[in-house]
Structure 1
Amino acid sequence: MKFRVGDTASFSKTITEADLVLFAGVSGDTNPLHLDAEYAKATRFGARIAHGMLTASLISAVLGTRLPGPGGIYLSQTLQFLKPVFVGDTITATVTITAVHPERPVLTLKTLCTNAQGERVVEGEARVLYEPSERGKGGSKA
């Protein structure tokens, strides 16, 4: 597949109670801000919020399944957390190619997560190594 500056792909997901609990279990981040409604009610957010890295993981979903897709390997990611994400929020992660490196199979991408109101909740930049052969296009060549 030939990648071009400006190519874009997205993935959307509604954040659920189960997502917070499962992410806490996998990551070990059991901060009561994410899991305890009474605790979270007394914070600046007034309610539980999703883990920042849970929200950012939606970017990984785009990179691994859509652009560049299967076979893509994260090299780096910068992140800025701009707004909280609450249970029930639908988040859309979008990646856009900003550079295709001419001498190696590496893409630089603008990464962005927005809520249903179009507000930016996470933004940053990723570098991804992609498989230039047919093997990187999904499916197995066993």
Structure 2
Amino acid sequence: MTQTALPDPATLNAIPRMGQGVYWQDISVGQQWRTFRRTITEADLVGFINVTGMVEAIFIDAAFESGAINGRPVPGALTYTMIEGFILQSMIQGTGLAMLELHQKILGPVLVGDSVQALVEVTAIRPTSKSNRAVVTSQITVYNQRQEVVMEYTATRLLAGRP
């Protein structure tokens, strides 16, 4: 088997990176994306509880009788982090520098077996005076498989500019 030699570093760096996020110059106010949809499983809930220590009875006891929600509710933080994972893997991978501010409203329950996805809309872009960066604000609307809005949040991030 012959082995192909890699191009020199300058040529290699000029090849687009798979999964690279967007630079602030390549987006505009009003631009929208929708994430993939993902079904939240019992394994997701258990893993999240184990990592975070959120051992509240409504999350750890499938037969908990005093809860206000029927079914297996999941923490809002789990829903949020799943959506942020989609955003990281697509919009801000390699270009997101910092989460600066977050305002979140949980509007409805998410249960094990629900499928969630989000609509992301850029609402503001403010270039900084330093290092080819911009502060980008987005409105994220999370909804379930029945098109019910279960969460809304505004995220303000620092994004890198084109090299």
Q: TM-score range by the shorter chain?
A: 0.7 to 0.9
Q: Secondary structure at the match of 2:92?
A: coil
2:104 to 79, 88, 93: 79
Distance 1:5 1:62, change over 3 A: farther
- Counterpart in 1 of 2:29? 5
Q: 102, 108, 113: which is aligned to 2:142?
A: 113
Gapped regions of structure 2 (runs ≥ 5): 1-22
Offset at residue 132 of structure 1 (A): 1.2
For normalisation by structure 2, the TM-score amounts to: 0.75
- Cα distance in structure 2, aligned partners of 1:69 and 1:76: 18
Instruction: Find out whether 1:16 has 2:41 as its counterpart.
Output: yes
Assess if the C-alpha contact under 8 Å between 2:95 and 2:161 holds in 1: no
Q: Percent identity?
A: 32
Which residue of structure 1 aligns with residue 120 of structure 2?
95
Q: Name the TM-score, length of structure 1 as normaliser.
A: 0.85
Greater C-alpha radius of gyration:
2
3-state SS, counterpart of residue 67 of structure 1: helix
Q: Which moved more, 1:10-19 or 1:67-76?
A: 67-76
Separation of aligned partners in 2, 1:35 and 1:70: 36
2-11 vs 47-56, greater mean Cα deviation = 2-11
The equivalent position to 1:52 in structure 2, one of 63, 66, 76, is: 76
Cα shift at 1:102: 3.1
- AA of the residue aligned to 1:46: N
Question: SS where residue 49 of structure 2 aligns?
Answer: helix
Q: Which runs of 5+ in 1 are unaligned?
A: 135-142
Once residues 102 and 74 of structure 1 are traced to their aligned partners in structure 2, the CA distance between those partners, rounded to angstroms, is 15
Question: How far apart are 1:15 and its partner, in Å?
Answer: 0.3
Q: Retained in 1: the 8 A contact 2:122–2:138?
A: yes
Provide the secondary structure at the position in 1 that maps to 2:38.
strand
1:86 is displaced (CA, Å) by: 0.6
**Contact persistence 1:106–1:127 (CA under 8 A):** yes
Q: Hey, what does 1:139 align to over in structure 2?
A: none
**Aligned alpha-carbon RMSD (Å):** 1.6
